[in-house]
Structure 1
Amino acid sequence: MGEEIKRPQFGNRLLENVDEVFKHNAWDNVQWDSEQEKAAQEKIKLNSHITFTEDTLKDLDINADKHWDEFYDIHQNRFFKDRHWLFTEFPELAPDYNSAPCRVYPNGETNETKIPNNTSPASKRFIFEIGCGVGNTIFPILQYSQDPNLFVYGCDFSSKAVKIMKENELYDTKRCEVFVLDATNQDWDVPFEENSVDIIVLIFVLSAIDPTKMPGVIQNIFKYLKPGGLVVFRDYGQYDLAQLRFKKGRCISENFYARGDKTMVYFFTQEEISSLFKKAGFLEEQNLIDRRLQVNRGKKLTMYRIWIQAKYRKPLQ
């Protein structure tokens, strides 16, 4: 037996001396003081005044797919970077890939997940990503996992995004299938059975959905996951830089905004995520705030990012 390779730890870059802030491009687990929190609350209060007309609000909702089509028409596959950090945050997505650094959290939590006893290494494994876009999550999964039993499904409600993904040379119909789906529909038209998916991926996608429609999405996720299946979730947290940057007149409802291109974004609290999933019947395995300080060393700018990361398990019974 060869010696086990110890993976490097990720999450240890802590800013202990503010004078060194421009020494690196990013700092992990950055805590806010009360003044910073208060300043963020004031900014949110300023940009939360709702000025949209009923007709505009209706357009944002009814034509959400068209607005995302226009987004991908403009940006094609150039806007989002491939998410190679996925396996640090969610090692379950490619368990046979052991070169990603281990994630370290300030409260001592680990990213290790207990595999339920209804799976075996040789069985067929299905991953389903909701809001797959142009493949920035699916392609890295296929690239880093060589498991012949893995098959990845993806959906997006932008037909343009699905078309762009299918034209990518990395798209392999033997290993993945993507299709158009509005996940807010009550009934899903999907190419797999209920209780059949091992992992469902929600990465920066639930935030694009009207908050009133989120419970229905979570209920359908529960329906299609197999007993013991896992949801991995990462999305915008309240007071993230993106929320603080909104100007007056972009607010749809509390913590919910329309960007200039008419795509929408919601900013979550941990409690909201916990409530959404637990009410649908899920067991909570992880729910944490990832506070990252990103630095533009050239322009001497600091940018505080806040993301919520979570894992929810469908009970075996």
Structure 2
Amino acid sequence: MTKETKPPLDSRIGKDSPFDFGQRYLENEKDVFNHNAWDHVEWGEEQINQAKEMIAKQYDHPVKEFDKNLYNSNPAKYWDIFYKHNRENFFKDRKWLQIEFPSLYRVTAKEYQEPTTILEIGCGAGNTFFPILNQNENKNLKIFGCDYSKVAVDLVKSNEAFPENHTKGVAYSSVWDLANPEGKLPEDLEPNSVDIVIMVFVFLALHPNQWKQAVDNLSKVLKPGGEILFRDYGRYDLAQVRFKKGRLLDDNFYIRGDGTRVYFFTEEELEQIFVTDGPFKKEKIATDRRLLVNRKKQLKMYRNWLQAVFKG
């Protein structure tokens, strides 16, 4: 089905199959410039080698040790600056989450009135938090939005859609560091009380030496049988390949121009972090590969995201 004939997003919630990542397949290379994007494009050896060559050049000019320590010492500071400059309009509302993660649709549906607690980690300005709250029809929903940027949390709390006793559920928001070494839980959240944890483009901001602590903290908030819904950048994504000199902090770990950090994962790494070395079970890990096309310039741009569901 082409982009022009695809039904509206809201009409597909609860109907589309999760982890399908779109249905436009490139079956003939001659058609590549007929559309702006193609789904499920497998990378050939040539594309992988090109990506590796470009990344190898980044090692010639890594971030200087002084700057590396500066960026790693207080990462929340750079997210505060980011949200001061960008506020709530930088990211689009993520209404697609209820398609890719059907459990979000199920627990917020009218026919589901069980007490349910959702925790979004890295809530930012609320681009996931508010769409879920506004579409919710479960009167027994509690939703927590946490971020280690105080500016982001202030944006959520100042939003007119945020009254704590919301007509569509109870909302909370607080400053919380997922990888805090003390193992503190978010404000007002009881241990092992969360049914669903949402982490969308969040884990990427952690230094690899923080992964274990973050997973330990997740295990303290999630109920037995609860779910972690995960999405992040995959290895060799266009964003990684495009980094220039002076941006490489560590293997596959970079500093952006605004001072925020980003890591690019593989499926194997995620399984190692959350399952092999962690306490969770793998429900699903998949790669969302897309080929974006600039038809005017005849350019091909390969995107690569990882999506996963882990269970407590």
Q: Report what 1:87 is aligned to.
A: 98
Q: Report what 1:288 is aligned to.
A: 286
Deviation at 1:51, TM superposition (A): 3.3
**Contact 1:94 / 1:144 at 8 angstroms: preserved in 2?**
no
Structure 1 position 169 matched with structure 2 position 160: yes
Structure 1 position 37 matched with structure 2 position 45: no
Q: Name which of 238, 243, 250 aligns with 1:241.
A: 238
Q: Report what 1:106 is aligned to.
A: none
Distance in structure 1 (CA, Å) of the matches to 2:73 and 2:54: 29
Percent sequence identity is: 45
The one-letter code of the counterpart of 1:7 is K
Structure 2 counterpart SS, 1:94:
helix
**Contact 1:81 / 1:136 at 8 angstroms: preserved in 2?**
yes
Deviations, residues 189-225 of structure 1 (Å, cap 9, x unaligned): 4211111100111100000111110111011111210
Structure 2 counterpart SS, 1:169:
coil
74-83 or 164-173, which deviates more:
164-173
Q: Report what 1:214 is aligned to.
A: 211
Structure 1 position 20 matched with structure 2 position 31: yes
Distance in structure 1 (CA, Å) of the matches to 2:296 and 2:164: 43
Q: Which is richer in helix?
A: 2
Q: Any stretches of 5+ residues in structure 2 without a counterpart? A: 1-12
Q: Report what 2:10 is aligned to.
A: none
Give the 5 Å matches for 1:1-317.
Answer: 7=15, 11-49=22-60, 51-95=62-106, 121-174=112-165, 175-186=170-181, 187-190=183-186, 191-278=188-275, 279-297=277-295, 299-314=297-312
Structure 1 counterpart SS, 2:88:
coil
TM-score, normalized by length of structure 1? 0.86
Deviations, residues 133-189 of structure 1 (Å, cap 9, x unaligned): 001111111122211111110111111111112222222312311111122112224
Distance in structure 1 (CA, Å) of the matches to 2:223 and 2:234: 28
Distance in structure 1 (CA, Å) of the matches to 2:114 and 2:283: 24
Residues 239 and 94 (structure 1 numbering): CA distance in 2 closer, same or farther, change over 3 Å?
A: same
Distance in structure 2 (CA, Å) of the matches to 1:125 and 1:220: 20
Distance in structure 1 (CA, Å) of the matches to 2:220 and 2:292: 38
Deviation at 1:72, TM superposition (A): 0.9
Residues 152 and 216 (structure 1 numbering): CA distance in 2 closer, same or farther, change over 3 Å?
A: same
Structure 2 counterpart SS, 1:195:
coil
The runs of at least 4 aligned residues of structure 1 exceeding 6 Å deviation read: none
Deviations, residues 292-315 of structure 1 (Å, cap 9, x unaligned): 12234455443211011111111x
Distance in structure 2 (CA, Å) of the matches to 1:141 and 1:6: 14
Distance in structure 1 (CA, Å) of the matches to 2:14 and 2:98: 15
Deviations, residues 210-249 of structure 1 (Å, cap 9, x unaligned): 1110111011111210111000100000000100010022
Structure 2 counterpart SS, 1:95:
helix
Residues 299 and 144 (structure 1 numbering): CA distance in 2 closer, same or farther, change over 3 Å?
A: farther
The one-letter code of the counterpart of 2:308 is A
Structure 2 counterpart SS, 1:307:
strand
The one-letter code of the counterpart of 1:80 is F
Residues 94 and 240 (structure 1 numbering): CA distance in 2 closer, same or farther, change over 3 Å?
A: same
Alignment length, in residue pairs? 289
CA RMSD of aligned residues (A): 2.0
**Contact 1:157 / 1:180 at 8 angstroms: preserved in 2?**
yes
Q: Report what 1:107 is aligned to.
A: none
The one-letter code of the counterpart of 1:238 is R
**Contact 1:155 / 1:162 at 8 angstroms: preserved in 2?**
yes
Structure 1 counterpart SS, 2:42:
coil
Structure 2 counterpart SS, 1:77:
helix
Deviation at 1:97, TM superposition (A): 6.9
**Contact 1:131 / 1:154 at 8 angstroms: preserved in 2?**
yes
Distance in structure 2 (CA, Å) of the matches to 1:49 and 1:213: 26
**Contact 1:49 / 1:251 at 8 angstroms: preserved in 2?**
no
